[in-house]
Structure 1
Amino acid sequence: MSEFLNHPVRAIAAKDLADARRDHFILIVIGFIALAALTSLVTGAIALANDVTTYNDAKATLMALGKSLDGIAAPEFYPLKLLRGAIEQIEIIGAVLGILAGFRAAVSERGRQTLALIMTRPVKSWQFLAGKYVSGVALLSLGLAAVFGLAAVTLQLTSGVGLQLADLGRIAIVWVTASAYVMVFYSLTFVLTLWAKSPANALLLSFALWLLVVLVAPQVGDTLDPDNQVAGGVFKQLHVPKAEQNRIKAGYAGFETIRNGIEAASVTKHFERFSFAVLGIKDSYTGKPLGPILVEKRGDFLWILFTSLGLAALMLARPINANRLTKE
């Protein structure tokens, strides 16, 4: 037991978490994500609660008049759809959080000239890097857990529709996926910062990649989608049958391959597709059982997971040259 408690990986992770608590910066960013998510959530939850109240009042009125409710289908309410704003905030600001956390974890040792001292101790290079990675996983996953936890409590208290155990399970799945998504940007920025001659240049490059992956690629894909040129979709608005849709799409299959390739290059788009499906935010998945959704969307989840693990492996792969890194 004592050997585990004194293990270098654990010691470095604990030190990094303590540093994060002291400077409060990461906690402030997490608080900002929570505030932005809850702002959009509360508005929708209040509207949903009004719809629930209206239905219950109408039902009570009919029953008071002695009217039968047989044959009248009760409306279905889906509170998880209100998490759309929270997912979008994590897509954008959560990725920024990963960048800042990764930059802080790497530059803290460079800035205080402690890296050379650490490496003189009986600590292997991979143990140092693994400790940094473990602290990043703990910090970011716990922060996102707080965001999703607050969102779930808000839905429970304000939407007028109680969350079921299955709903909490869906939220938990998305939380795990969101943690892996944010760790993509943590690992990327950590690697760039630790190995760049100038930490400032590494941070600028990280944000340039963030701009390309999070904002540009998904937006280009959406803008080039012919079916997105009308709110709700051209095919849906014109009531085009599915078979006819497929025939029309076959006419521009090459264009569609390029457009989808641009979207698929973005880990953000995969996170959005997976989360929107699991939470039922996208109408075609609303009310569907979770099992078939996970089977259908496993490709998006695996893309996020393998990207995150691949960058983690890159982070741990190369030995540290402490002398070079401490020469600023």
Structure 2
Amino acid sequence: MLILAKKEMIDAFRNKLFITLLSMLFLLIIVSVVLGSFQIKINVESYNQSVSILKSLGKTELPPPPSFNPLSASKNFANYIGLLGALMAIVLGNASIVKERRGGTMRLILSRQIYRDGFLNGKVIGNLILLMLISLFSFVITLLAVIVISHAPITVDDIARQGLFFVISFLYMAFFLLLGLFMAILVRDGNKALLITVMIWLIISFIFPQIGDTMDMDNQLPGGFFASMGMNKADSQKVLDRFKFYESLRDGIEECSPTKHYERAGFALLNVKTGFDKNTALEVVAIKWFDVAALLAPCIILWLCAAMILLRREDIFEE
């Protein structure tokens, strides 16, 4: 199983499509993080200059330092993972099965001293390690850029928040890895399996969130429909209660999108979404436990379903 895991990692770097997507992802990450860090640096320098000017004028009452939020340098990473990271994971999951089936090596491997579940686990573990290394590299690059370029004050909790954000990013990519692998096992035609997986990705990552945002009654005007009407929270809830079925349908569609859960938990950790700046990293995860579980649970389910199909079907070797 460990030999298969190592083989998966080596084979991934022979996949031209994976290399292309990975290169584009790293290029976008580096550019966005560097630009974000420079923006934070400009804000830090502007504040320091203001303080210096006030001190030179003999002022003793100085303005408190604003929240520079060094974590904001990573906010574009969520968009890149939602697009390139998901596609990259789908390609890895699909190729891990299809290449063995087309090359006729799956039957040969399983004729050795390895069971089908070990074969599947080796494939999954190898690709998960690869995604973990990609997330770790992105975390290190982001942290170094923030420390070296921005010179913004960064705390241990900031580092923990950023680290947990990249853990959630790993879970998000793992979901699409297992989805691609599951579809490659379920559908014997490798090209058709890849096409179906991409279609599922488009629906749950783009169409479902768009439907949820469009159907949101409070999202029809800038600043919120209820706020523009001068309604408080209690009055807004009364209106929503009259459209309970409508809101339940909208929420149900939105909850089916792993991208929404990823953004909710990720943006809360990065302080992009207001209301979580006073919480520690672990407290944010505890508050957003449902969104984290909504990423982890489908991964486990897809892994188990892939194992069940692989164990029971004998035509798995043929395309």
- Scaled by the length of structure 1, the TM-score of the pair is 0.89
Counterpart selection for 1:203 from 191, 194, 198: 194
Stretch deviating more after TM superposition (190-199 or 9-18): 190-199
Establish whether residue 75 from structure 1 lines up as the match of residue 66 from structure 2.
yes
Determine helix, strand or coil for the equivalent of 2:152.
coil
Structure 2: tracts of 5 or more residues without a match: none
Rounded Cα–Cα distance in structure 1 between residues aligned with 2:257 and 2:15: 32
What is the aligned partner in structure 2 of residue 29 from structure 1? 21
What is the aligned partner in structure 2 of residue 101 from structure 1? 92
What is the aligned partner in structure 1 of residue 158 from structure 2? 167
User: One-letter code of the match for 1:280?
Assistant: N
Establish whether residue 135 from structure 1 lines up as the match of residue 143 from structure 2.
no
User: One-letter code of the match for 2:45?
Assistant: T
Establish whether residue 49 from structure 1 lines up as the match of residue 5 from structure 2.
no
Counterpart selection for 1:38 from 27, 30, 35: 30
Establish whether residue 64 from structure 1 lines up as the match of residue 56 from structure 2.
yes
Rounded Cα–Cα distance in structure 2 between residues aligned with 1:292 and 1:249: 29
User: One-letter code of the match for 1:51?
Assistant: N
Q: Deviations over 1:20-42 (max 9, x none)?
A: 23445434322311222333333
Rounded Cα–Cα distance in structure 2 between residues aligned with 1:250 and 1:323: 52
Q: How has the CA–CA distance of structure 1 residues 261 and 322 changed in structure 2, closer, same or farther, with 3 Å as cutoff?
A: closer
Aligned residues: 319
What is the aligned partner in structure 1 of residue 107 from structure 2? 116
Measured after TM superposition, the shift of residue 142 of structure 1 is 0.9
Report if aligned partners of 2:25, 2:84 keep a CA contact under 8 Å in 1: yes
Measured after TM superposition, the shift of residue 235 of structure 1 is 4.4
Counterpart selection for 2:135 from 141, 144, 149: 144
Report if aligned partners of 1:91, 1:268 keep a CA contact under 8 Å in 2: yes
Determine helix, strand or coil for the equivalent of 1:122.
coil
Report if aligned partners of 1:106, 1:193 keep a CA contact under 8 Å in 2: yes
What is the aligned partner in structure 1 of residue 274 from structure 2? 283
Q: Which runs of 4+ in 1 moved over 6 A?
A: none
Report if aligned partners of 1:95, 1:182 keep a CA contact under 8 Å in 2: yes
What is the aligned partner in structure 2 of residue 12 from structure 1? 4
User: One-letter code of the match for 2:51?
Assistant: K
Identity of aligned residues (%): 27
Determine helix, strand or coil for the equivalent of 2:13.
helix
Stretch deviating more after TM superposition (207-216 or 317-326): 317-326
Report if aligned partners of 1:280, 1:288 keep a CA contact under 8 Å in 2: no
Which residues of 2 match residues 157-196 of structure 1 at below 5 A? 157-196=148-187
Report if aligned partners of 1:91, 1:272 keep a CA contact under 8 Å in 2: no
Rounded Cα–Cα distance in structure 2 between residues aligned with 1:188 and 1:19: 19
Structure 1: tracts of 5 or more residues without a match: 1-8
Q: How has the CA–CA distance of structure 1 residues 113 and 320 changed in structure 2, closer, same or farther, with 3 Å as cutoff?
A: farther
Measured after TM superposition, the shift of residue 234 of structure 1 is 3.6
Rounded Cα–Cα distance in structure 1 between residues aligned with 2:236 and 2:312: 57
Rounded Cα–Cα distance in structure 2 between residues aligned with 1:320 and 1:117: 16
User: One-letter code of the match for 1:255?
Assistant: Y
User: One-letter code of the match for 2:114?
Assistant: V
Q: How has the CA–CA distance of structure 1 residues 84 and 233 changed in structure 2, closer, same or farther, with 3 Å as cutoff?
A: farther
